[in-house]
Amino acid sequence: MIGRPASQAEWRAINLIAAAVLLVAALLPVAALPLWRRPRLRRVLLVVCWVLAVGCVTHALIQDAQRVLSLAGALQIRYPASLWATVNRHTADIQDLAFNETWFLIKGLLWGMLALIVLGASSARRWWTGTATLANRQCYPASGSPGSSTVCPI
């Protein structure tokens, strides 16, 4: 653990909610399989794939950049005192780089691959890939200075 939570009950509640969200995200592609055959729902599912792929990959890349800057001492990540009594910043950075953001990147790439498989070799595939790539390129850490934040104009 990266530190001592201010409240064990709140810590458990936050982690329970996060586990439920991750479970739904894991089951969603399987639950949506029968819906891919319906032309109207197919577009909706492609939009869901696009949003999740872009969101997860962008989240992973931004957080990885911030954690590397934090490890280098160029950025200080703030942890709410209401959630954490103590925090080991180095451990938090390493854990986030090694585990948390890696899973966001994998999840985003898998959502993107699902959409590309469904699109096949069509012109829509090129448009889908181009817009997803462009959306990910729009988000970046503002600067390496202490206290900087993330800028995402989309």
| Separation of alpha carbons 14 and 26, rounded Å | 18
3-class SS string, the chain: CCEEECCHHHHHHHHHHHHHHHHHHHHHHHHCHHHHHCHHHHHHHHHHHHHHHHHHHHHHHHHHHHHHHHHCCCCCCCCCCCCEEEECHHHHHHHHHHHHHHHHHHHHHHHHHHHHHHHCCCHHHHHHHHHHHHHHHCCEECCCCCCCCEECCC
| Separation of alpha carbons 3 and 45, rounded Å | 39
Number of structural domains the chain divides into: 1
pLDDT per 10-residue tile (average), the chain, 154 residues: 92 94 88 88 89 91 94 93 93 93 91 86 77 71 45 40
Burial 88-104 (b: 16+ CB within 10 A, else e): eeeebbeebbeebbeeb
**Span 99-133, pLDDT tens digits:** 999 999 999 999 988 888 888 887 777 777 777 77
CA angle in degrees (0–180, nearest 5) for 17-23-27: 150
Domain span at residue 143 reads: 3-151
pTM value?
Answer: 0.76
